[in-house]
Amino acid sequence: MTKSRNGTAIDRHRRQFLKTAALGGVALGGAGFLTPEAPAAEGTEASPLIPPSMLVQGKPVASPPYGVPSEFEKHVVRLANDRTATPFSSWSFTPLQDLHGPITPNGLFYERNHNGVPTINPDRHRILIHGLVERPVIFSMDDLMRLPSISRIYFLECSGNSSSEFTKPATDIRWSHGLLSCAEWTGVPLAALLQEAGVRPEGKWILAEGADAAAMTRSIPIDKAMDDALIAFAQNGERLRPEQGYPVRLLLPGYEGNMSVKWLRRLKIGNEPFMTREETSKYTGLLPDGRASQFNFVMEAKSVITRPAAGGTINGGPGLIQITGFAWSGVGKVRQVDVTVDGGRSWQSADIDVPILPKALTRFRLPWRWDGSPAIIASRVTDETGYVQPTREALLAARGNEFHYHYNAVAPWKIDAGGKVTNAYGAGA
């Protein structure tokens, strides 16, 4: 591998990055074509002159009718949490380290269920809107399809994502950050449904209820309902998966995932929050003085390096790699992502993939020539409001160790001389 003139330093400017990448490309090309180790005419077992795939017919079309990933990608699956008391009220993690773009495939979208995934026949499913409305109304799925639907890309993050980092930092990015996914959602603006019912002026909160065995309920502020809330029935172009709320769910962009009630069955308009179990005894953050912060709806700006990431390894030794990850903000767009490779002493701005969408995962990337010595890398996002992702120290100073929810601090990964990547805050979980 050709050594960069810049050594191990991050290339500060895009122009320099392109130049460096070009050098890397030439170096790789040289290894592959200009100085082959074996004579090209003979080939090798690993790279035969004519691969077997060219010598036999492949599979026919629609094998199978609903396509699945390559057999060589079978390791890319959700990780079920096996530490909860029951698998019915539990969660599974998205394998962020194996994703390559901001859209999460539907089969890899994280789950959080409170009493299992229900089986719901869409023909028998209804959504009731009542309470402080002029005209109570009940919609079938066919009714819903007659209303105007829109498609928007939004992330969903469990309020408890990264809760491990408050107390026992996780050894693997799935455990530390895997309750995060992003999809294109198709649905009817909640405001359109509410217009059919006619919300009375005193209606300030909406109780959303699911048709699952937990009968999940959360209180939604009317302003959010009228702003960008969706009644979503499709995800990444197909109907919702059962574990994502089939046949229909609420989708509150930028808000903690629990509020986007799945299997939505009822919306009741009231004048006060309903104080359900999930917004009093759960999803509230305990502060060091014994008080608790309630109604922490917005998921604050956060970023994480997904490759290389804790639990993984830099394969192939020193040389050029691409540091990449996701940044997001529940209030809007990502403005800037900074990356450090020296443990936070200095930072450089990363390239951000466009288009930058509000309340959606945004991919960032920075090329880095790793020289093989131990290093600590991390990312830090600034969103369009100017809010900067805090350090763990700043977050814990303000919220203590028992807040449990809304952990959005900078996540430093430690790389050892062998390329093994771990959580720089140490192994605890």
In the shown chain, the binding pattern of residues 364 to 403 toward other proteins, with x for contact by CB under 8 A and - for none, equals ------------x-x-x-x----xxxxxxxxx-xxx--x-
Q: Which is nearer to other proteins, 94 or 113 (CB)?
A: 113
Instruction: Give the Cβ contact number of residue 416 at 10 Å.
Output: 13
Percent of residues in the chain assigned helix, strand, coil, to nearest 5: 20, 30, 50
Using DSSP, state whether 169 is helix, strand or coil. coil
For residue 52, state whether it binds other proteins (rule: CB under 8 A).
no
In the shown chain, the binding pattern of residues 105 to 134 toward other proteins, with x for contact by CB under 8 A and - for none, equals ---------xx------------x-x---x
In the shown chain, the binding pattern of residues 171 to 210 toward other proteins, with x for contact by CB under 8 A and - for none, equals ------------------x-xx--xxxx--------x-x-
Q: Which is nearer to other proteins, 106 or 217 (CB)?
A: 217
Question: Which residues is 93 bridged to in the sheet?
Answer: 79
For residue 147, state whether it binds other proteins (rule: CB under 8 A).
yes
Rounded CA-CA distance 321/334 in Å is 24
Q: Which is nearer to other proteins, 109 or 405 (CB)?
A: 405
Q: Which is nearer to other proteins, 94 or 303 (CB)?
A: 303
> Quick one: which of 185, 186, 205 has its CA closest to 194?
205
Rounded CA-CA distance 260/254 in Å is 10
For residue 274, state whether it binds other proteins (rule: CB under 8 A).
yes
Minimum separation from the CB atom of position 167 to other proteins (A): 11
Query: Where does this chain touch other proteins (CB under 8 A) — which range of 49-57, 156-164, 175-183, 280-288?
Result: 280-288
Rounded CA-CA distance 97/110 in Å is 14
Find the distance separating the first CA and the last CA of the chain, reported in whole Å: 37
Question: Which residues is 230 bridged to in the sheet?
Answer: 189, 251
Question: Which residues is 324 bridged to in the sheet?
Answer: 307, 365
Minimum separation from the CB atom of position 264 to other proteins (A): 13
Rounded CA-CA distance 218/222 in Å is 13
For residue 58, state whether it binds other proteins (rule: CB under 8 A).
no
For residue 254, state whether it binds other proteins (rule: CB under 8 A).
no
For residue 429, state whether it binds other proteins (rule: CB under 8 A).
no
Q: Looking at 181, 244, 258, 284, which residue binds other proteins (CB under 8 A)?
A: 284
Rounded CA-CA distance 151/235 in Å is 9
For residue 214, state whether it binds other proteins (rule: CB under 8 A).
yes
Torsion angle of C-alpha atoms 252, 255, 259, 264, degrees rounded to 10: 10
Rounded CA-CA distance 324/162 in Å is 19
Question: Which residues is 155 bridged to in the sheet?
Answer: 182
In the shown chain, the binding pattern of residues 316 to 355 toward other proteins, with x for contact by CB under 8 A and - for none, equals ----------------------x-x--xxxxxx-------
Q: Which is nearer to other proteins, 112 or 268 (CB)?
A: 268
Rounded CA-CA distance 151/277 in Å is 32
Minimum separation from the CB atom of position 52 to other proteins (A): 49
- Interacting residues of 38 by C-beta distance below 8 A, sequence separation 6+: 44
Minimum separation from the CB atom of position 294 to other proteins (A): 4
Minimum separation from the CB atom of position 227 to other proteins (A): 5
Site size toward other proteins, by CB under 8 A = 93
